[in-house]
């Protein structure tokens, strides 16, 4: 065993870990980032569908590292290991984490998302609370993330567009497919206001990062120009350039050791290549391993001082895990029935569909009622060729094969293009959505795996269906065919938060308003775990912003000695 | 539903203990795979025949792709066994003569096999594996001269992989 001393050790190199590392390194502090996965550099990424989208190459092999997922079956909770179901809850275990693989459609949360309980009151069966901070406190960090991560877009005033401290985005939107004209026209006809989607993809060069080259394969893949605002490109590279960052890839953290009641002394880590174990000590520890894994790490760090897990005097650790509720829908734009735009322009590849709808973020309708709604993103169906082909090989429950399959695929690929919408609404925190430690299952490092109970609140589906009907009308107006939508209570495993709620009361929350443990003063949790409610937008911008805020607080604390 | 239960549901024999016992024995596993290679090839050629608007199995080296794919460490070991077992079961149903049946008889045999839950899953798996070859980057040995991409007018993005499975 060896020991090295850092000012701060950060567990995880994704969006939040990168933002904290950047802030601390720029302020002159010595930081170690521990990342379980390997480093894949910009010039090593490719658009290899088989490797990135169809195999567990950038996530752990499920037979070695997995979760157990608890679902209610005939009234009883049944836990199934993910190696048995194939339902992976890992997201991009490489340096930079899942921010390497995101599509980058981002929104700020609305000011009312910070005070959901005050605004809408309680909902039976849901554990809604107000945040201990306001939008105004987060706003400067949303602006900072916009600049540093490189979020591009075009500000348009809208009832539900949060206020900004800067007039517009630092760069204009990425180039758009002509389909946006059809979306805009159709929305206008339905009295809906389409907005340009802010996107964490550069439209122009920025420092060491080059502008988007419109590869047609953005989400699920690493970026080969540096345009995508991943933690690796936007934050870890500049942090490394300060000389203050030690980036330790292939480093799995087994647990944090708190020899004293109120202080973490070191992390016990394993080199995933050599199997060698060592202790890494620091003044401050920041956990940023993605929501359910951060809670798992703290639960696995229990000892005589913390018998129920580190930072868990409240008993709230792992509770109120949230995902993003909603679902998606799709329709086909066919060559022979396309209106207003040219088919060959529609088929131009690589350009973005930067359109969102916020009109239904809050519903206040004489007939429908008053309730929290959600946001909508439009996009083309993912351009992965194997998955698109494989989706079109069935009819009436039977496989289509032979020449009929050839006819069908060529028609589908060459004569039409699918347009999609995705709905994001609040996954209401509830008593049946949490992470704990599995009593029997352990990963290949001998540590208990996370057991996730993933029940959704019934309100989530009602809101999703309400919005899906409206989105289907947009697709109808666009002239799309074979329209369908699917609102599911199944959790999207790439949109996860909660489990280490922040709050002012140590009895009901794990972290204080700076995402610092109420119990252990040199322990912070910087990822989406802190979120008591999730808003109705993808979490990434808020994760970046909050981690910059946490980083600033740690700098302040360190500067005071 | 648990994967293993799902895979064996409806099987006449179930996942055989002999094959399950071979999990860690690559030599025996390779022999088992070799013994069903012709059956799998024959099924692939029936699903993706000559004269279609997409390339044929015969022209795209898809059997070699399938064999290399399921033996790669990144491939699910349960599904690897299922691919072999499913082929053995098809041959069992057809008294070991599937590969020499006429096209019409093969169609009958496969549609009949598809009527079973197990057979339907297996055929779906063979089709998926075949499509993975046809439409993945040619570096994996299939999609010869990008013929699969050309047929669909859709091409893999840039940069293209220079190694299989991101081997850095």
Q: How far apart are CA A206 and CA B82, in angstroms?
A: 50
Q: pLDDT tens for residues A376-426?
A: 999 999 999 999 999 999 999 999 999 999 999 999 999 999 999 999 999
| Closest CA in chain B for residue A83 | B3
Q: What pLDDT is attached to residue B8?
A: 55
Q: How far apart are CA A289 and CA A302, in angstroms?
A: 17
Q: What pLDDT is attached to residue A2?
A: 46
pLDDT at B23 over 90: no
Assign B25 a pLDDT band (cuts: 50, 70, 90).
low
pLDDT at B18 over 70: no
Q: How far apart are CA A459 and CA A290, in angstroms?
A: 26
Between positions 104 and 133 of B, the ones with CB within 8 A of A are 114, 120, 123-124, 127-128, 131-132
Q: What pLDDT is attached to residue A561?
A: 78
Cβ–Cβ contact B97 with A under 8 A: no
Q: Are B16 and B10 in contact (CB under 8 A)?
A: no
Q: Which of A43, A50, A389, A444 to mutate to test the interface with B (most CBs of B within 10 A)?
A: A50
Contact: B166, A44; criterion CB under 8 Å: yes
**Mean pLDDT within B43-69:** 98
Q: How far apart are CA A410 and CA A393, in angstroms?
A: 12
Q: How far apart are CA A41 and CA A175, in angstroms?
A: 25
Q: What pLDDT is attached to residue B2?
A: 57
Which tokens is A548 given?
């910059």
Cβ–Cβ contact A73 with B under 8 A: no
Strand pairing report for A245-248 and A31-34: parallel
Classify A27 as helix, strand or coil. coil
Q: What pLDDT is attached to residue A4?
A: 52
pLDDT at B52 over 70: yes
Q: How far apart are CA A489 and CA A457, in angstroms?
A: 8
Which tokens is A504 given?
């002012």
CA A330 to chain centre: 22
Predicted TM-score of the model (pTM)? 0.96
Sign of torsion over alpha carbons A109, A115, A120, A122: positive
Classify A209 as helix, strand or coil. strand
Q: How far apart are CA A327 and CA A212, in angstroms?
A: 28
Between positions 165 and 224 of A, the ones with CB within 8 A of B are 213, 215-217, 221, 224
Closest CA to A120 of A373, A321, A366, A367: A373
Residues ≥6 apart with Cβ < 8 Å to A217: A47, A49, A383, A384, B156, B157
pLDDT at B16 over 70: no
Within 10 angstroms of residue A275's Cβ, the number of other Cβ atoms is 10
pLDDT at B11 over 60: no
Within 10 angstroms of residue B102's Cβ, the number of other Cβ atoms is 8
Which tokens is B129 given?
């594996």
Q: What pLDDT is attached to residue B28?
A: 74
Q: What pLDDT is attached to residue B4?
A: 56
Q: pLDDT tens for residues B88-124?
A: 999 999 999 999 999 999 999 999 999 999 999 999 9
Segment-wise mean pLDDT, segments of 10 residues, chain A, 561 residues = 76 98 98 98 97 93 96 92 94 97 97 95 97 98 98 97 98 98 98 98 98 97 98 98 98 96 96 97 98 98 97 98 97 96 98 98 93 97 97 95 98 97 98 98 98 97 98 98 95 96 98 98 98 97 98 97 78
CA dihedral (A367, A369, A372, A378) in degrees, to 10, reads: -10
**Mean pLDDT within B134-158:** 98
pLDDT mean across residues, chain B: 89
Question: Rounded to a whole number, what is the largest CA-CA distance in chain A?
Answer: 74
Q: Which of B148, B156, B158 to mutate to test the interface with A (most CBs of A within 10 A)?
A: B156
Contact: B166, A40; criterion CB under 8 Å: yes
Q: How far apart are CA A171 and CA A144, in angstroms?
A: 14
Contact: A410, B77; criterion CB under 8 Å: no
Distance from CA of B95 to the nearest CA of A (A): 24
Q: How far apart are CA B165 and CA A455, in angstroms?
A: 35
Cβ–Cβ contact B3 with A under 8 A: yes
pLDDT at B1 over 70: no
Q: pLDDT tens for residues A160-174?
A: 999 999 999 999 999
């Amino acid at each position: 065993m060896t020991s090295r001393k850092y000012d701060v050790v950060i567990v995880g190199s994704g969006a939040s870990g990168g933002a904290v590392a950047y802030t601390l390194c720029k302020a002159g502090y010595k930081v170690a980032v521990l990342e379980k996965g390997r480093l894949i550099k910009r010039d090593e990424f490719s658009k290899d569908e088989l490797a990135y989208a169809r195999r567990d190459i950038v996530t752990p092999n499920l037979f070695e590292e997995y979760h157990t997922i608890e679902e209610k079956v005939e009234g009883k909770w049944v836990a199934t290991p993910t190696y048995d179901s194939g339902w992976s809850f890992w997201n991009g275990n490489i340096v930079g984490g899942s921010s390497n693989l995101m599509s980058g459609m981002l929104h700020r949360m609305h000011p009312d998302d910070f005070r959901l309980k005050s605004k809408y009151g309680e909902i039976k069966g849901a554990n809604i609370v107000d945040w201990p901070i306001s939008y105004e406190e987060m706003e400067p960090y949303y602006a900072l993330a916009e600049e540093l991560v490189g979020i591009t877009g075009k500000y348009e005033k809208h009832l539900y567009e949060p206020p900004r401290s800067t007039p517009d985005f630092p760069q204009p939107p990425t180039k758009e497919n002509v389909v946006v004209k059809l979306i805009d026209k159709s929305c206008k006809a339905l009295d809906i206001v389409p907005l340009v989607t802010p996107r964490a993809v550069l439209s122009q060069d920025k420092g060491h990062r080059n502008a988007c080259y419109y590869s047609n394969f953005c989400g699920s893949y690493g970026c080969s120009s540096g345009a995508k605002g991943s933690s690796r490109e936007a934050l870890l590279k500049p942090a490394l350039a300060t000389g203050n960052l030690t980036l330790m890839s292939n480093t799995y953290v087994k647990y944090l050791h708190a020899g004293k009641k109120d202080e973490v002394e070191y992390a016990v880590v394993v080199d995933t290549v050599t199997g060698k174990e060592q202790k890494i000590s620091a003044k401050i520890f920041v956990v940023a391993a993605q929501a359910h894994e951060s809670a798992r790490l703290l639960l696995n760090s229990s000892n005589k001082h913390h018998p129920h897990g580190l930072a868990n005097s409240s008993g709230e650790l792992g509770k109120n895990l949230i995902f993003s509720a909603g679902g998606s829908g799709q329709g086909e734009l066919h060559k022979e029935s396309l209106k207003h735009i040219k088919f060959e322009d529609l088929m131009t590849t690589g350009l973005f569909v930067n359109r969102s709808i916020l009109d239904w973020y809050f519903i206040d309708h004489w007939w429908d009622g008053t309730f929290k709604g959600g946001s909508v993103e439009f996009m083309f169906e993912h351009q992965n060729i194997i998955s698109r082909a494989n989706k079109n090989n069935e009819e009436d429950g039977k496989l289509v094969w032979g020449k009929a399959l050839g006819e069908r695929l060529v028609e589908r690929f060459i004569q039409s293009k699918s347009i999609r919408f995705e709905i994001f609404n609040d996954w209401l925190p509830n008593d049946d959505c949490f992470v704990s430690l599995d009593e029997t299952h352990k990963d290949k490092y001998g540590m208990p795996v996370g057991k996730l109970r993933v029940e959704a609140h019934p309100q989530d589906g009602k809101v999703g269906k309400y919005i899906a009907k409206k989105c289907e009308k947009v697709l109808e107006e666009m002239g799309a065919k074979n329209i369908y939508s699917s609102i599911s209570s199944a959790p999207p495993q790439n949109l996860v938060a909660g489990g280490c709620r922040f709050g002012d009361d140590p009895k009901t929350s794990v972290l204080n308003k700076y995402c610092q443990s109420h119990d252990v003063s040199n322990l912070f949790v910087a990822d989406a775990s802190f979120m008591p409610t999730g808003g109705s937008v993808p979490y990434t911008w808020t994760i970046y912003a909050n981690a910059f805020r946490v980083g600033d607080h740690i700098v302040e604390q360190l500067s005071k000695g | 539903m648990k994967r293993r239960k799902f895979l064996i549901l409806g099987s006449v024999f179930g996942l055989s203990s002999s094959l399950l016992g071979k999990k860690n024995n690559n030599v025996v596993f390779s022999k088992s795979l070799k013994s069903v290679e012709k059956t799998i090839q024959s099924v692939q050629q029936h699903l993706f025949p000559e004269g279609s608007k997409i390339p044929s199995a015969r022209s795209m080296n898809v059997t070699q792709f399938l064999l290399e794919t399921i033996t790669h460490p990144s491939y699910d070991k349960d599904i690897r066994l299922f691919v072999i077992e499913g082929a053995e079961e098809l041959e069992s149903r057809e008294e070991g003569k599937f590969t020499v049946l006429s096209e019409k008889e093969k169609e009958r045999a496969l549609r009949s096999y598809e009527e079973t839950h197990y057979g339907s899953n297996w055929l779906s798996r063979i089709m998926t594996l075949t499509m993975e070859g046809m439409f993945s980057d040619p570096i994996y040995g299939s999609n010869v001269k990008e013929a699969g991409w050309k047929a669909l007018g859709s091409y893999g993005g840039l940069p293209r992989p220079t190694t299989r499975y991101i081997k850095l």
